[in-house]
Structures are given as structure tokens and as C-alpha cells.
């Protein structure tokens, strides 16, 4: 277990390499250049945190805490300054957002998860990763291929379902809600544990597409009054501040229950997710750190923040 955790942390660190090197180099540069820590240092630290997309509110809190702590503490080493920043960030998270409640899943059969997000963020890949995770946990998993918008989408999902070894129903329809209807019926009759619904990459300013999401929700709700159990919004970490607009738009239109951040392996701006999660009181549930089904982790604020300001 310990080895596994270390592996996970290393992978996360690897994934956050760009963000970390970016932050680390800049912070080191600012601190070691100065003989004393003065107001200018704090301004520079503030600018560094802002550049990683932490946002002004969160940055302000961290800087203000660092300033007061340093007034009372003699140790002004780089290590200590980073520790103060890390601890403050973590305490904000601990107060606001606790960890995932896994026992919920056992209470529903099937437990229905819908994956949404704009085009290319990694919805289908993430769905495959989730399918793999649940399959490995011994769950009976079925996929609803409700991205009927793109011809290649179903083929992509079919390939994933074969590779992972979970089921996908072929529904001969271009209507996403009828794909969901048929898949859910099969899931109910055959006592599946988990239904994963893939959806089309919708532009968040495209009302027609949002309308389509509503139709899927309606059908789901008609068959199972408690469903969907989760609506997970997939965000590409390369999008930087733009993910704020995406969360706002989706959250306005449908009730998002959690966030998944993908492509952390290729960005220097991992901070935006912390900002968004706090602002919207939305839990980050998983992280995507590569293209294979294993490049997937449950979000752990402590590990994330440690890898972030290392």
C-alpha cells in the first residue's frame, strides 16, 4: 500500500512537473536574491502565485498568512516560506472540502454517472479510466455511448470498452437520450452496478447542446428517480483561466456534482483548479495525468498541494 501511495505521489509530481518547476524556480529566485524579506518580496511572491492561476482571492489569503507568520517566526528560509504557503493552502481546503464519500455507490443499483464538458477536454478517455477503476473494484459496469454528435466517438468508446473489458450497448439511434434510455433499461434489468454516460463535447455557449443534456437528464430521471447520482465536469488543465467560464456555464445549466481535471501532465498552470473548486464549493474528484487508463488518480488535496508547492 505504501509503495502504491509513493508511486501515486511520484506520478502526480511528474504530472505537475511543469507547474512545480515554474513555481519553485520563481519562488527560489525571489527569496534567494534578497537579503531581507520585505514588502517587495511579498509582492513578487503574490505575482508568482497569480501566474500559476491560483486567482486573486486565494493568493491574497496565502500571502497575508505568510506575511503574519513571518513576523512571528525567525526561520525565513526558502523551505519554511514554502511550508507556510503549503499549510495555508491546505487548511483552506480542509475547511471547505473533505474527501470523497465512497459508501454512496453501494446504496444505488445502478449508480449512474454522467460525464460532461467541452470538446476535447478528455471526457471519453476519463470515462474509460473510471470504467477501468470500477471494473478493477469488481463492479459490473456498462457504458452509454451518448455522444452521437461525432461519428468516430462511438468507435473510440467501443475500443475503450473492449480494452477495459466492460459492456457497451449498440443502440441504433442518433438521439443521445434514446441511447441512454436503452442502456439504462438494460442496466436495470441485468442488475449492473455502474452506468457511465458519455456525452458530446458541447460548447458551453451552445444552447441547443445544453438542451440535449437536459433531455438526457430527463430520460435518466424518468427511469430512475434518483439518477444521475453524479454529473462530473471534465476540465482540461491547459485551458487555464478559461475553465472558470466553463464551470460557470455548465453549473448554471445543469447541476454539476464534481470536477475532473485532465492533462495535468502537460501544463504549468495547475492552480486554476484549486481556485475553482473553492469558489464553487465543488470537489475535485479525479485527476488525469496521461493518456492510458492507469494515468488516473483520486484527488487528494494534501498530495496535490505538496506536489504543487514542492
Strands of the sheet containing 258-262, edge to edge, are 167-168, 141-146, 194-199, 111-116, 230-236, 258-262, 284-288, 296-298
* CA 31, 36, 42, 47 torsion-angle sign: negative
Q: Which does 263 bind (CB under 5 to 8 A by kind): ligand GDP, Mg ion, none?
A: ligand GDP
**In angstroms, what is the minimal distance from the CB of 203 to ligand GDP?**
12
Can residue 132 be called a binding residue for Mg ion (CB under 5 A)? no
**In angstroms, what is the minimal distance from the CB of 127 to ligand GDP?**
8
Can residue 124 be called a binding residue for Mg ion (CB under 5 A)? yes
Strand 194-199 and strand 111-116: the pairing is parallel
Q: Which does 121 bind (CB under 5 to 8 A by kind): Mg ion, ligand GDP, none?
A: ligand GDP
Total residues in contact with Mg ion, by rule CB under 5 A: 2
Beta bridge mates, 261: 235, 287
Give φ, ψ of 259 to 5 degrees. Answer: -120, 150
Q: Which does 265 bind (CB under 5 to 8 A by kind): Mg ion, ligand GDP, none?
A: ligand GDP
Q: Which is nearer to ligand GDP, 61 or 158 (CB)?
A: 158
Give φ, ψ of 39 to 5 degrees. Answer: -60, -35
List interacting residues with ligand GDP (CB under 6 A). 117, 119-125, 201, 262-263, 265-266, 288-291, 295
**In angstroms, what is the minimal distance from the CB of 263 to ligand GDP?**
4
Q: Which is nearer to Mg ion, 11 or 123 (CB)?
A: 123
* CA 32, 303, 85, 53 torsion-angle sign: positive
**In angstroms, what is the minimal distance from the CB of 289 to ligand GDP?**
6
For 290, the grid coordinates are 496521461
**In angstroms, what is the minimal distance from the CB of 65 to ligand GDP?**
32
- Interhelix angle 151-164/123-136, nearest 10 degrees: 20
What is the contact surface with Mg ion in residues (CB under 5 A)?
Answer: 123-124
Amino acid at each position: 500500500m505504501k509503495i502504491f501511495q509513493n508511486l501515486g505521489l511520484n506520478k502526480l509530481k511528474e504530472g505537475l512537473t511543469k507547474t512545480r518547476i515554474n513555481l519553485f524556480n520563481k519562488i527560489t529566485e525571489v527569496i534567494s536574491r534578497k537579503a531581507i524579506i520585505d514588502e517587495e518580496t511579498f509582492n513578487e511572491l503574490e505575482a508568482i502565485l497569480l501566474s500559476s492561476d491560483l486567482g486573486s482571492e486565494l493568493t491574497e489569503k496565502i500571502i497575508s498568512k505568510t506575511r503574519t507568520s513571518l513576523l512571528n517566526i525567525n526561520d525565513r528560509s526558502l523551505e519554511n516560506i514554502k511550508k507556510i504557503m503549503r499549510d495555508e493552502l491546505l487548511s483552506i481546503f480542509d475547511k471547505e472540502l473533505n474527501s470523497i464519500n465512497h459508501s454512496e455507490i453501494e446504496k444505488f443499483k445502478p449508480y449512474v454517472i454522467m460525464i460532461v464538458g467541452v470538446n476535447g477536454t478528455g471526457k471519453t478517455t476519463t470515462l474509460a479510466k473510471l470504467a477501468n477503476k470500477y471494473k478493477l473494484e469488481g463492479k459490473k459496469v456498462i457504458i452509454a455511448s451518448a455522444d452521437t454528435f461525432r461519428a468516430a466517438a462511438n468507435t473510440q468508446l467501443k475500443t475503450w470498452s473492449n480494452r477495459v473489458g466492460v459492456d457497451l450497448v449498440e443502440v441504433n439511434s442518433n438521439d443521445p437520450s434514446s441511447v441512454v434510455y436503452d442502456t439504462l433499461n438494460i442496466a436495470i434489468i441485468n442488475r449492473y452496478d455502474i452506468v457511465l454516460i458519455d456525452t458530446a463535447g458541447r460548447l458551453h455557449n451552445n444552447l441547443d447542446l445544453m438542451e440535449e443534456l437536459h433531455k438526457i437528464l430527463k430520460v435518466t430521471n424518468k427511469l430512475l428517480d434518483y439518477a444521475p447520482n453524479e454529473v462530473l465536469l471534465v476540465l482540461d488543465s491547459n485551458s487555464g483561466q478559461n475553465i472558470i467560464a466553463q464551470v460557470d456555464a455548465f453549473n448554471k445549466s445543469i447541476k454539476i456534482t464534481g470536477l475532473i481535471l485532465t492533462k495535468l501532465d502537460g501544463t504549468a498552470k495547475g492552480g486554476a483548479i484549486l481556485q475553482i473548486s473553492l469558489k464553487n464549493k465543488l470537489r475535485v474528484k479525479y485527476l488525469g495525468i496521461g493518456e492510458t487508463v492507469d494515468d488516473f488518480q483520486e484527488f487528494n488535496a494534501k498530495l496535490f498541494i505538496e506536489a504543487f508547492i514542492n
